Structure 1
Amino acid sequence: MARRQDHDGFFTHPLAFVRAERSWTYQDLVNVIARHVGNMAARREKAWRWENWGVVPDEDSQYALARELGVPHEQVRRLGWPAWLPAGDRLNVELPWTLEAALSSLDHTAGAAVLDRRAFLTLSAGTAVTVANQWLSLEPPRVDAALRGGMIDSTLVEALEQRLPTIRQMQYALGGGSVRNLADAELRLVTDLLSRSSYTQQIGERLFNVAAELGRVAGWSSFDAGFHASAERYFMAALRASHAAGDRAIGANILKCMSLQLVDAQRPDEALAVATAARDGAKQAPPRIIAMMTVREARAHAVLGEAMECERLLVKAEAAMSRADDVESPGWTSYFDKAEYCAQVAACYLLLRRHQATDHWLSQSLNLQPAERPVDRATYLMWRAKTVLELGDVDHACTLVSEAVPSIAAARSARNRRRLVNLQAKLNAHHQHPAVAQLDEQVRTLIA
């Protein structure tokens, strides 16, 4: 029987997955619980609120559902709602940090994670921090020459490496939803080469490096498209691949992406711990990478409202960024130019509600933003619209949103569409303003 999904094509809550696995409607769910509890009013609205409003069921209802699902009561108490729900496969984070485990992780991810429709995190609280600290503390394994099948030479690896900038550029231009399948297919190819071919130690390290970056791109694309469980799987496999390659900078960048996903999932303490591990792992990296990791850690402090620590790190980030052009950096860092740096500083001040500073940094970022990054430009236009609205300029806010709408419509970025919905709700508080009414006509079909 076909699984029911929400209107965006993915499961937005573990309970939605549980219902879909059993073809339960909301009414079916409350009826099942009522049979066990006896005195519960079987109203479907209860289940809807549990799934969509974040309402936590009472203890009797949870235990009743657990009995139906075969989950021990001890597990319900230990994990809490909704983590105890049997919502599909979970990542095996107990694997050792070996080459064999890295290959196994890639093999179980490429081609499979792209099919994962769960729009929620599956790793329990604290697991990402544990993994990040393991990565930080362990020395990478030696990549031994492999003798399995046909010999891989540097020409083929170079061709794979040269495809990476194009895939990243497509992500910047089209959004994650348009690119994740392509990145997954490339990752499957590289994984098969690692598993079935012969290569030298140096070639093996380069292949693991390519796999790590493809996994990161696939993870970020999945995150941008709203598929959080899929993103987790890619990020974890990519982190192991970067460890196998012995490339701390790529690993730090993967952790940086994971940190932002944890922020999005409202796990700010974990996000900070993972961002700190990323910066610690990149201490010997070129200045551009140090600036990148430092501003991400500053942003994690801003999420927690820790203004002084955020400001301290922004000073360090500025010092590193001032030297960024003096030292050569890997190709994957090219997006972190002055425009992106200004946007990330602005993100910190936006979180701290320092609206004048936010507007200053976003103005710089948008003036420098290259045309080939329309998804990011749309993001920063909406950030600035939110900022100027807070400063009382409704007309300017509407102008900025209107400028962002074409890029949002063209790209498959669930995060930008969600930002637009939230911003439109704020603007509707000024619904009598002519500019708001005009903008509403422009975006109504897009966010319907």
Structure 2
Amino acid sequence: MTTDAAERHPLAYLLDLRGLKAEAYLLRVAEQHQRMGYGQMAYRKEKASRWIAGVYAPSYHTQLAMAALEGIPPEAIHAHGWPGWLLLALPDHTLFTLPWTTTGAVHALEITGGPVDRRKFLITTSVTLGTTVAQWSAAAPAGAAPTAGRHIGADVPAHFEQRLDSLRRLDDTVGSGDVYDAARAELRLITATLKNASFGEGVERRLFGAAAEASRSAGWTAYDSGKAAAAERHYSTALRAAASADDPVVGANILAFWAIQHYSTGNPRGAVDLIEAALSQAPRTGSARLTSMLHARACRAHAHAGDTRAAGRSANAALDAYEHAGPIEDDLPCVYWYNLGETHQLLGSSALNLGNPKQAVAHFLEASTATSQEAYNGDAFPRGYAIYLARLAEAHLCLGDVDAAVATAHDAVDRMGGVTSARGTNTLEDLRKKLARRRGIPAVADFLDYTETE
């Protein structure tokens, strides 16, 4: 059983919650299985390990016995599937079983905007991801139900949208730590407005769109700060709000950022599903730039899954779509950061994942040598640039060019200074471990000494 699988799976969390070893819990299930007339059931701990790892799923009768043991009705097995129905046995199941309505969306916004959840458990398995995306696709948008409270106009969501745009840009330069708290504060303010004011249908949908973006921002900054479980809940809530907003742009953008978390934490297939759902909405967005970004994210997911052919198709699709992109200043606000240089950085990262460092170096260098408007802007995105430089250094190292690797690694460390990002710090630490294998080279030893932490 891997750590990532254990953190993501509801059964692993349930065992921890009950304070039980797998074999002891399975013994209880086996006894319930026999009481219900289904016969004997093996209860070796390896069985639970395989369920958690996703190698096998329990038989239907075993699931019925487990549900009975947890006091969950049999119909929940059909409604939520394995392991989704197990969420009903957990104390934080409410967020993931709320109805996909405007009322459910507001309730979810209240939960995720409340006290910070310190748990490390990640609820969204591949199965629950698929269910979430399907429910998002089928959800009805907000319809301006009658409300009491002071009437507000379009200027209010416009103010929220401007503030959220500023938060996106602050995250680029100061890092995710403080921006996470600010995004959650925005989320609470927008949620209070949705609950207490009155408005027309258009304003309500824009408010839900702003709430979705605030929750997406909180999700991204939570993930970048190392709060992966909180990020999952924010992304799930953001998608609910996007459904009420009937906004394909914010929905596609949420799915793209959510995919980053999944392909970076050992679930690339789930990431592919998220990106495919986002790409299904791409024609509605009217943005070739956004479409290109989604294809580039698909390339990253396929690369993490080791699928060279699919990654190559997505890379070509990203570059082809970008040829039709208009001026960045006239495009959607959420893709202000995405230009041709960024595309090559993402494709270079994918090539590195696929074991092709020579192609990776070519993409990374292409990112910085494009025309001035299309080159990757490292000054504007120091955290992102530090991460890309670390990957370039790794590619140089794979090719045996230690001098270039060390010089690039120094540049990465200098770029990262002053920006808070657990993701960036972890990337640089991984690079140090790879360089440590060459400690006998003086330049490498000097770099390791220079970057050693107390």
Task: Give the TM-score category using the shorter length.
Answer: 0.7 to 0.9
Aligned pair 1:369/2:376, yes or no?
Answer: yes
- 1:333 is aligned to 335
Check 1:422–1:61 CA distance in 2 against 1; reply closer, same or farther (3 A cut).
closer
AA of the residue aligned to 1:107: E
CA distance in 1 between partners of 2:268 and 2:248 (Å): 24
**Cross-structure match for 1:224:** 224
| 1: CA distance, partners of 2:121 / 2:368 | 32
Question: When the two structures are superposed, what TM-score results if normalisation uses the length of structure 1?
Answer: 0.79
* SS of equivalent residue, structure 1 residue 313: helix
8 Å Cα contact 1:105-1:237 kept in structure 2: yes
Helix, strand or coil for the counterpart of 2:149? Answer: coil
Contact 1:239–1:251 (CA under 8 A) maintained in structure 2 = yes
Counterpart-to-counterpart distance in 2, 1:276 and 1:148: 40
Give the structure 1 partner of residue 255 of structure 2: 255
Partner of residue 100, structure 2: 97
What is the aligned partner in structure 2 of residue 304 from structure 1? 305
2:111 is the alignment partner of 1:108: yes
Matched position secondary structure for 1:93: helix
Matched, 1:405 2:413: yes
CA RMSD of aligned residues (A): 3.4
Question: What does 1:185-200 correspond to in 2, within 5 Å?
Answer: 185-200=185-200
Deviations 1:361-406 (A, max 9, x none): 1123245232121110111011101111101111111111111213
Q: What is the identity, as a one-letter code, of the residue corresponding to 1:102?
A: A
Preserved CA contact (<8 Å) 2:291 2:318: yes
Pick which of 307-316 and 186-195 moved more.
Answer: 307-316
Q: For 1:319-330, what aligned pairs fall within 5 Å after superposition?
A: 319-325=320-326, 328-330=330-332
Give the letter aligned to residue 131 of structure 2. Answer: T
1:119·1:226 contact (CA, 8 Å) conserved in 2? no
Cα deviation for residue 181 of structure 1 reads 0.5
1:411–1:18 distance in 2 versus 1, CA, 3 Å:
farther
Inter-partner Cα distance in structure 1 for 2:176 and 2:300: 22
What is the match of residue 281 of structure 2?
Answer: 281
Mean CA deviation greater in 139-148 or 366-375: 139-148
CA gap 1:57/1:363 in 2 versus in 1, 3 angstroms:
farther
Report 1:153-164 matches (<5 A): 153-164=153-164
- Measured in 2, the distance between the counterparts of 1:387 and 1:259 equals 24
Work out whether 1:271 is the aligned partner of 2:293. Answer: no
CA distance in 2, matches of 1:16, 1:123: 13
Aligned in 2, Cα 1:363/1:88: closer, same or farther, shift over 3 Å?
Answer: farther
| Structure 1 pair 91–296 and aligned structure 2 pair: CA distance change class (3 A) | farther
1:393 to 390, 401, 414: 401
CA distance in 1, matches of 2:290, 2:48: 51
CA–CA distance in structure 1, aligned partners of residues 333 and 146 of structure 2: 27
Does the 8 Å CA contact 1:149/1:196 hold for their aligned counterparts?
A: yes
Do the aligned partners of residues 324 and 60 (structure 1) sit closer, same or farther apart at CA in structure 2, a change above 3 Å counting? closer
1:418 is matched with 426
Instruction: Name the residue aligned to 2:57.
Output: none
The count of aligned residue pairs is 397
Between 139-148 and 182-191, the greater mean CA deviation after superposition: 139-148
User: Residues 13 and 121 of structure 2 are in contact (CA less than 8 Å); yes or no, is this contact kept in structure 1?
Assistant: no
In the superposition, relative to structure 1, how do residues 427 and 122 fare at CA in structure 2: closer, same or farther (>3 Å)?
A: same
Partners in 1 of 2:108 and 2:225 — Cα distance?
22
For residues 128 and 378 of structure 1, what CA distance do their matches in structure 2 show?
31
Q: 2:350 aligns with which of 326, 348, 373?
A: 348
Determine what percentage of the aligned residue pairs are the same residue. Answer: 31
Per-residue deviation, 1:21: 8.1
TM-score by length of 2: 0.78
The 1:268–1:294 alpha-carbon spacing in structure 2 relative to 1, beyond 3 Å, is same
Per the alignment, residue 5 of structure 1 pairs with none
Relative contact order higher in (CA < 8 Å, ≥ 6 apart)? 1
Q: Would the alpha carbon gap of residues 436 and 247 (structure 1) be closer, same or farther in structure 2, given more than 3 Å must change?
A: same
Three-state SS of the structure 1 residue aligned to 2:123 is coil
3-state DSSP class of the match of 2:125? coil
CA contact (8 A) 2:225 2:421 kept: yes
Q: Does 1:176 align with 2:176?
A: yes
C-alpha separation in 1, matches of 2:139 and 2:12: 41
**Within the alignment, does 1:432 sit opposite 2:440 as a pair?**
yes
